Amino acid sequence: MNYTCTLNPSIDYIMHVDAFRAGDLNRAANTAYFAGGKGINVSRLLNRLDVETTALGYLGGFTGTFIRETLESAGINHQFIEINEPTRVNVKLKSGEESEINGPGPSITKEQLALLLEQIRNLGKDDVLVAAGNAPSSVPADIYARMADICEKNGTRFIADTSSAALQDLIGKRMFLVKPNHHELGELFHTTISSIEDIVSYARKLHETGIENVIVSMGGEGAIFVNKYHAWKAETPKGTVKNSVGAGDSMVAGFLAAYEKTTNYEQAFTYAVAAGSATAFSDDLGERQDIENLVSQVRLTSI
């Protein structure tokens, strides 16, 4: 079973404002609400690809109820731990360019943390855990490192998609996949990345720390894949970008879904890029058919 863990889920409140003016009363032309948070996005996309998942993490209050009901109506399994404070609302303002304001999120108690780690201890060698997104400040900074240790002990495949600061604590841990973008990769190595050669070289360094598969995304500029056997650069399909929220999460879900079906890295990376682009070209996460229509436009070159 694939498990996703979202420590700090969100309702993503999308506001389209024609010409946003800071300091004025602005009226949105239209708005939308989505159940969000990186792990939840991975679960939602996997579900669209007919891959079963169970979403873990914390939900609370009326916002938590919205997320739970949204997942249930899509048929997505979950085992969220109920908390007292409401789940955050993240504002995604679209006015020509995209601006995001993400809330800090609720506090998590020691008991609630222990419950989650117990759930993770119960995963086995046939399971995959995708731990994604920012952790609320009440959660110890080494939470992902603790999860990685538990997964290594139990043979559970571990995937992390989080900020460069959290990824820093994971260096040296065994992981199946990480997917930083090129800015996060630079931050991880305290450097500014300015060329494809730099990206490949730092992606290899990351792989050598114990990460089986490294994808570095570069928005519309493509993506890099490095593992023990292959190194590729992908060109992304061309299209009209509507939304970049969840594009990175879609790559993780696309890789996982295609790898599970084919155990072929080329197909998994191609599908990951198509999934990222399908989301970039949609208002919400991409649909399965959109992804499949884009697969033939993803070009890989060996590097």
Ligand X SMILES: Nc1ncnc2c1ncn2[C@@H]1O[C@H](COP(=O)(O)OP(=O)(O)OP(=O)(O)O)[C@@H](O)[C@H]1O
Is residue 245 a contact residue for ligand X (CB under 6 A)? yes
74-133 positions binding ligand F1X, by CB under 6 A: 90, 100, 102, 133
CA distance 20 to 259: 42
CA distance 1 to 288: 20
Residue 236, classed as helix, strand or coil, is coil
Applying CB under 6 A, which of residues 37, 57, 106, 237 lies at the interface with ligand F1X?
Answer: 37
Residues in the chain: 303
Residue 145, classed as helix, strand or coil, is helix
Is residue 2 a contact residue for ligand F1X (CB under 6 A)? no
CA distance 86 to 48: 27
Applying CB under 6 A, which of residues 138, 163, 244, 267 lies at the interface with ligand X?
Answer: 244
CA distance 214 to 206: 7
What six digits make up the tokens of 238?
Answer: 């061309």
Out of ligand X, ligand F1X, none, what residue 37 binds, judged by CB under 5 to 8 A for its kind, is ligand F1X
Least separation in angstroms between CB 163 and ligand F1X:
6
Say how many C-beta atoms besides its own lie within 10 A of residue 121's C-beta: 13
Is residue 136 a contact residue for ligand F1X (CB under 6 A)? no
Segment near ligand X (CB under 6 A); pick from 6-14, 84-92, 146-154, 269-277? 269-277
# residues near ligand X by CB under 6 A = 19
Instruction: Indicate the residue among 36 and 237 with the shorter CB distance to ligand F1X.
Output: 36
Residues 6+ apart with CB under 8 A from 9: 35, 36, 37, 39, 40, 57, 58, 59, 64, 67, 87, 88, 133
Catalytic residue among 12, 161, 249, 290: 249
Terminal CA-CA length for the chain: 33
Least separation in angstroms between CB 39 and ligand F1X:
9
Is residue 220 a contact residue for ligand X (CB under 6 A)? yes
Segment near ligand X (CB under 6 A); pick from 52-60, 61-69, 117-125, 247-255? 247-255
Contact 284, 34 (CB under 8 A): yes
Contact 116, 146 (CB under 8 A): no
- Residue 142 among the catalytic residues: no
Segment near ligand F1X (CB under 6 A); pick from 32-40, 119-127, 253-261, 295-303? 32-40
Instruction: Indicate the residue among 2 and 277 with the shorter CB distance to ligand X.
Output: 277
Is residue 199 a contact residue for ligand X (CB under 6 A)? no
Segment near ligand F1X (CB under 6 A); pick from 59-67, 106-114, 231-239, 244-252? 244-252
- Give the CA radius of gyration of the chain: 18
Instruction: Indicate the residue among 130 and 200 with the shorter CB distance to ligand F1X.
Output: 130
Residues with a known catalytic role: 249
